[in-house]
């Protein structure tokens, strides 16, 4: 198999448009968002600084020099945004909690105003028939915790447990679905090894210690959440890619295996009780994390579902000296989004089937999937994002394939409801089904949102 397997030709004929009914009446249909990317209100109501505020204020870190200080002003406009979600026909909504809103800068005193915001938001979801899916950590670590070493410091695990406790005490009567972490690989590797995300560190040992503490904080949070919310469904969301070797040559196949060890098994193996993959541990040498007795047992706490964030497949080539494991991800060939990410719907069914087969994790939810295109508001006010509409339709067809194949996938959250602050890319990249005019904060349904609405209304 080569790169070309991900080209449109490798995708087979255009699928028939899927129907909501194909997925059964209990399937969850949502959109996903995250706090720092949409809320804005950076200094409102006692919110303290996050690592992303600090990072965005550092020249050269964000491509357009922007920050999440205002973003979509969702902190004030959430009723309109939830109305949009309801009108689309969603029955679930994934959001994240801004940790810097929940405690003051000592971490000791809860901030009632921050807690109240999420109470109002969740009540707003329930009033509109949206099942709330709360993510406890989607990357906006309080800066005061980073100043103490961030996720590389074991004390951050305890701080996270206090966050999990405070949020589940406050919202547990209404929120039953809890995601501990969004994409630990990104937190660890992009933030602390590649360094193009906050906090911008470039050190493999730090990154792997971060990954360990993030996984540990997940595992230790599971019983905390269950104690406060006995009927909770608890899981974690990982960003995963199906992989291909760049060629059939043994060195590329071996490179793909090494990459898989760190990108996939490093997270899934410990979560499902297998510890860190031995080969990868040997390959990272003295960058391996400090693991204390009992940590691996804690990480493997049984969960109720696994969240899978799928965007694109990766093609891996051997490249001695490049990256931690001498591997390189090749640039995409064939159809891509404006991010340069390959469009490969069949990768979704392939990935879900692989995870289900490798780990038997119980119910799977696609907690993110979406695409970035250079949208244009036309003279008549319409945003004809034909490519995003097609991307969505084809990925839902692939999802239906997974369901038909017996993979236990139970829900889908499109990334994202709104255009938003796309991390290091600032506002240059639009992923929303709904267009946001940042000058006026006007929301406009793109054609993709209208297609999703039609799909969800069973047309
Ligand atoms: C995911 C992130 C999400 C968004 C999308 C495009 O990795 O979880 O916040 O940036 O990518």
Active site residue 257: no
Task: Tell me which of 137, 184, 372, 423 to substitute to probe ligand 1's pocket, judged by most ligand atoms within 8 Å of the beta carbon.
Answer: 423
* Distance between first and last Cα of the chain: 38
Residue 106 banded pLDDT, cuts 50, 70, 90: confident
Angle at which helices 112-127 and 74-88 cross, to 10°: 20
Query: Ligand 1 mean position to 122 CA, how many Å?
Result: 22
Average pLDDT over residues 184-188: 98
Q: Kindly tell me the burial class for residue 33, based on how many C-beta atoms sit within 10 Å of its own C-beta (0-12, 13-18, 19 or more).
A: buried
295 CB within 6 A, ligand 1: no
What is the pLDDT, as a whole number, of residue 14?
63
What is the pLDDT, as a whole number, of residue 10?
40
Catalytic residue among 49, 350, 368, 387: 368
Q: Kindly tell me the burial class for residue 451, based on how many C-beta atoms sit within 10 Å of its own C-beta (0-12, 13-18, 19 or more).
A: buried
Per the domain annotation, does 128 fall within a domain?
A: yes
What is the rounded distance in angstroms from the CA atom of residue 163 to the CA atom of residue 25? 34
What burial letters (b/e) apply to 140-167, b meaning 16+ CB within 10 Å?
A: bbbbbbbeeebbbbbebbebbbbbbebb
What is the pLDDT, as a whole number, of residue 31?
99
Query: Ligand 1 mean position to 433 CA, how many Å?
Result: 14
**Structure-model confidence comparison of residues 109 and 13, the more confident one:** 109
Per the domain annotation, does 2 fall within a domain?
A: no
Which CATH number goes with the domain that contains 106? 3.20.20.80
Per the domain annotation, does 283 fall within a domain?
A: yes
Per-residue pLDDT at 171 exceeds 70: yes
Q: Count of domains in the chain? A: 1
Catalytic residue among 183, 314, 350, 387: 183
- CA angle 179–183–184, rounded 5-degree value: 100
What is the pLDDT, as a whole number, of residue 196?
98
Active site residue 183: yes
Per-residue pLDDT at 401 exceeds 70: yes
DSSP for 111-165 reads -HHHHHHHHHHHHHHHHTTPEEEEEEESS--BHHHHHTTGGGSTHHHHHHHHHHH
Percent of the chain past pLDDT 90, that is, above it, reads 95
Query: Ligand 1 mean position to 293 CA, how many Å?
Result: 33
Per the domain annotation, does 352 fall within a domain?
A: yes
Mean of the per-residue pLDDT values for the chain? 96
Per the domain annotation, does 13 fall within a domain?
A: no
Per the domain annotation, does 3 fall within a domain?
A: no
Query: Ligand 1 mean position to 239 CA, how many Å?
Result: 9
431 CB within 6 A, ligand 1: yes
Per-residue pLDDT at 11 exceeds 80: no
Average pLDDT over residues 176-197: 99
Per the domain annotation, does 56 fall within a domain?
A: yes
What is the pLDDT, as a whole number, of residue 13?
54
Domain membership of residue 252 as a residue range: 20-456
Per the domain annotation, does 8 fall within a domain?
A: no
What is the pLDDT, as a whole number, of residue 16?
78
What is the pLDDT, as a whole number, of residue 9?
38
Closest ligand 1 atom to Cα of 186: 7
């Amino acid at each position: 198999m080569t790169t070309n397997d991900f080209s449109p030709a490798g995708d087979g004929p255009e699928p028939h448009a899927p129907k909501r009914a194909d997925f059964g009446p209990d399937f969850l249909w949502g959109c996903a968002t995250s706090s720092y990317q949409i809320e804005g209100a950076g200094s409102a109501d006692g919110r303290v600084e996050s690592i992303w505020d600090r990072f965005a204020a550092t020249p050269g870190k964000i491509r357009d020099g922007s920050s999440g200080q205002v973003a979509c002003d969702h902190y004030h406009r959430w009723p309109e945004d939830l109305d949009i979600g309801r009108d689309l026909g969603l029955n679930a909504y994934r959001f994240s909690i801004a940790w810097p809103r929940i405690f003051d800068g000592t971490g000791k005193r809860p901030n009632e105003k921050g807690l109240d915001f999420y109470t109002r938001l969740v009540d707003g979801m329930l009033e509109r028939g949206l099942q709330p899916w709360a993510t406890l950590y989607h990357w906006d670590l309080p800066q005061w915790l980073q100043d103490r070493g961030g996720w590389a410091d074991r004390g951050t695990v305890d701080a996270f447990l206090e966050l999990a406790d405070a949020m589940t005490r406050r919202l547990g009567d209404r929120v039953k679905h809890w995601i501990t972490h969004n994409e630990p690989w990104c937190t660890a590797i992009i933030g602390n090894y590649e360094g193009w995300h906050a906090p911008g560190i470039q050190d493999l040992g730090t990154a792997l210690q971060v990954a360990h503490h993030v996984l540990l904080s997940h595992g230790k949070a599971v019983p905390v959440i269950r104690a406060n919310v006995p009927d909770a469904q608890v899981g974690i969301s990982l960003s995963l890619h199906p992989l291909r070797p760049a060629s059939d040559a043994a060195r590329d196949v071996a490179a793909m295996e090494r990459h898989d060890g760190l990108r996939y098994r490093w997270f899934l193996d410990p979560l499902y009780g297998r510890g860190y993959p031995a080969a990868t541990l040997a390959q990272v040498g003295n960058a391996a994390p400090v693991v204390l007795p009992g940590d691996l047992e804690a990480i493997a706490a049984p969960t109720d579902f696994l969240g899978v964030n799928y965007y694109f497949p990766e093609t891996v080539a051997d490249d001695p000296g490049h990256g931690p494991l001498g591997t390189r991800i090749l640039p995409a060939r064939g159809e891509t989004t404006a991010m340069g990410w390959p469009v490969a719907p069949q990768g979704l069914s392939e990935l879900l089937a692989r995870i289900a087969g490798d780990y038997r994790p119980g119910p799977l939810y696609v907690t993110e999937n979406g695409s970035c295109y250079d949208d244009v508001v036309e003279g008549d006010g319409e945003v004809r994002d034909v490519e995003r509409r097609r991307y969505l339709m084809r990925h839902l067809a692939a999802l239906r394939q997974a369901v038909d194949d017996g993979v236990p996938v139970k829900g889908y959250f499109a990334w994202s409801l709104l255009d938003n602050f796309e991390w290091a890319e600032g506002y240059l990249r639009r992923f929303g089904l709904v267009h946001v005019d940042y000058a006026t904060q006007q929301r406009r349904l793109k054609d993709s949102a209208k297609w999703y609405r039609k799909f969800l209304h069973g047309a």
